[in-house]
Chain A
Amino acid sequence: MTNDRRWIPYLLILPSVAFLALLFIVPLVQTIWLAVSDNGALSLANADRMVNDINFTRSLRNTFLLTLMVVPVQIAIALVMGSMVAKVGRGRETILWIWTIPLGISDLAAGLVWLSILQNTGYLNSVLFGFGIIERQTGWLSYQTPVALFFAIAVAEIWRGTAIVMVIIVAGLNQVPKEFREAAEIFGAGPWTRFWRITLPLIRPALQSALILRTVLAFEVFAVVYALGGRNFPVLVGEAYNWQNQNQNYSVAAAYAVLIMVISLAATLVYLKAIKVDPERLP
């Protein structure tokens, strides 16, 4: 036995690398190949079929609209929640625990929760009817009420997905020593100035992580949409699902999957560029 144990770390890391390579990289390569090939030859036929499908433009637009609506609202709410809980002494853990409950609920279950509120015989209609605001059951989730449907899905997504953003933001806020805010206060900065000039720049890394994670997840939105709107509100992952299951066309489904990946990667690159994190300018 020699004292040379440099190989031990590699040995310990090997299983996880092998596991990921087998179950992630191989399917990824297969999916990409599936998307860009036709009968074993390189081809744009699948992409062509995807783009010319009647639901393609709608699903692309819906997914982007939903992301543009949901992500900024989630970041804003998470910042407010994080700032509020920072002032709390006792009971802080309990509050955080309650706020993170949506993290533990699967997205389909979350969709069903909101379905029970928003469907024709749901709680919302009962309440509105009880107060005499509406005279009969009103549909919120049909193809005839696209705006209501959009907002219903957005609200459900915000409810479900804000917790993870908040967890990241709170972790970021915890990294900022309170002396920075106190120093700013001493030198005459009000709460608003302190937030914009001190706190926000100092939590850039957390903000960047939260934005990337949330945006990638937002482009993958599916179960909540499916539960609330079915095919009345087509989104990209929903289309991939339909091509795979209903149409049994794995190649076009793969084309959708690759498209979603490309969009996510592009969004990530934009964030990395836009919110530069310079380690030299961090606490």
Chain B
Amino acid sequence: MANIVIDRIRKSFGAFEALKEVSLTIHDGEFVSLLGPSGCGKTTLLRIIAGLETATSGDVRIGDNSIIGLLTKDRGLAMVFQNYAVFPHMTVYENVAFGLRMQKADDLRVKAQVEKAAGLLHIEPYLDRYPNKLSGGQRQRVAVARALAVEPRVLLMDEPLSNLDALLRLEMRTELKTVLQAAGTTTVYVTHDQTEAMGLSDRIAVMHGGVVEQIGSPVEIYNRPATRFVGGFIGNPPMNFIKVAVSNGQVAAGGEQISAPKDAGYEVILGMRGEAVELAPLSTGLEMKVRVAEPMGSHLLLTGSIHDQPVRVVLPASETVKSGDTIGLKLDRNRITWLSPESGKAYPALTA
């Protein structure tokens, strides 16, 4: 079993607290992304797992053994770096073989493992070339093959796709998913790109300011953000937040009354995904002033305001709303996230 337990990890750089008591459990065979903006501590956490950085306090266990005291080389991990870190003075074959050579594997095993990994990543034609002859995408394949060749307990990936151009990134993402599903390796994947995290992960840990704001499946995180930050960070367009008044436990949305959470005060934040609405007559709907209407082909993106607060709404491409229009919206009440205006945290979902 190679589940990873991250137990109250803290890390300070001088006065700056990069990680504030982060705890996280990653199950055997699971693909977990650490997702967040730059400076949120995601790379630091990954490097602490790898042993390239020392935690100020806390513990990391793999299986049931603490690895925090072990040297990097003794942790039995593999890692893929953002800039590939494929050794330029070795052939692709020797690069992929590197980990096995360090384990003093015999030539037969090295050959078998290299061929297997190279086959998975489709780099057999390049095995006797030097990395500088390869494109960025091919080099990243070599880096992944090098990591998989050692059949690691845990695979760490630090923004592995961010140096690739957009088209290649999409292609590599799909391929990574196929390869890693086949390998079944426990993977921790650091990225700032939400589509990557959503597409690849079993679960996503959204990090912000040195803490894990939420951990959950991509769908959970998208539909039920735990905090205002998560809702605003995930999704394109991000979740809309509208501050509304509560009276008698109800919130008025146009002509409709929606039950607010029980613990809510006089005001509550209504979190709403841009596509969780449909057009309604102005008389019954929630009024939105459309500032800009952008027909995107697949959908219609409206930017404007509700209650003088900025919102972005997505409607089917067939609707004909123009810039400057005022429209009515009906909210999908099952997809509303209520948040506290004070703490920015979500109220527990209403079980209606």
Contacts and interface: CB of A to CB of B under 8 A. Distances in A.
Interface of A: 177, 179-180, 182-190, 193, 198, 201-202, 204, 279-283
Interface string B48-62: 001010000000000
Contacts of B77: 186
Nearest to A180: B85
Nearest to A187: B99
A180 B78 CA distance: 13
A280 B90 CA distance: 10
Residue among B87, B130, B150 with the most chain A CB within 10 A?
B87
A179 B72 contact: no
Contacts of B262: none
Chain A interface mostly helix, strand, loop or mixed? helix
A182 B50 CA distance: 10
B88 A282 contact: yes
Interface of B is mostly: mixed
A282 B102 CA distance: 22
A198 to B, nearest CB: 7
Given A177-B83, A280-B132, A281-B130, A188 B73 contact: yes
Interface string B250-291: 000000000000000000000000000000000000000000
A185 B52 contact: yes
B73 A282 contact: no
Contact of B52 (A182, A204, A281): A182
Nearest to A186: B79
Report the 4 A-B pairs with minimum CB-CB distance, sorted nearest first. A188-B102, A187-B99, A179-B85, A183-B85
Nearest to B77: A186
A280 B83 contact: no
Interface size, B (range)? 20 to 34
B81 interface: yes
12 contacts: A179-B85, A180-B85, A182-B81, A182-B85, A183-B87, A184-B87, A186-B50, A186-B73, A280-B132, A280-B133, A281-B130, A282-B132
Contacts of A193: 102
A189 B103 CA distance: 9
Contacts of B72: 182, 185-186
Given A182-B52, A187-B99, A177 B85 contact: yes
Contacts of A185: 52, 72-73
A186 B50 CA distance: 7
Given A187-B150, A189-B102, A190-B73, 19 more contacts: A179-B83, A179-B85, A180-B87, A182-B79, A183-B81, A183-B85, A184-B87, A186-B50, A186-B73, A186-B79, A186-B156, A187-B98, A189-B73, A193-B102, A198-B87, A204-B89, A280-B132, A281-B88, A281-B132
Contact of B81 (A179, A190, A198): A179
Nearest to A194: B73
B146 interface: yes
B112 to A, nearest CB: 18
B50, B85, B130 — most chain A CB neighbours (10 Å): B85
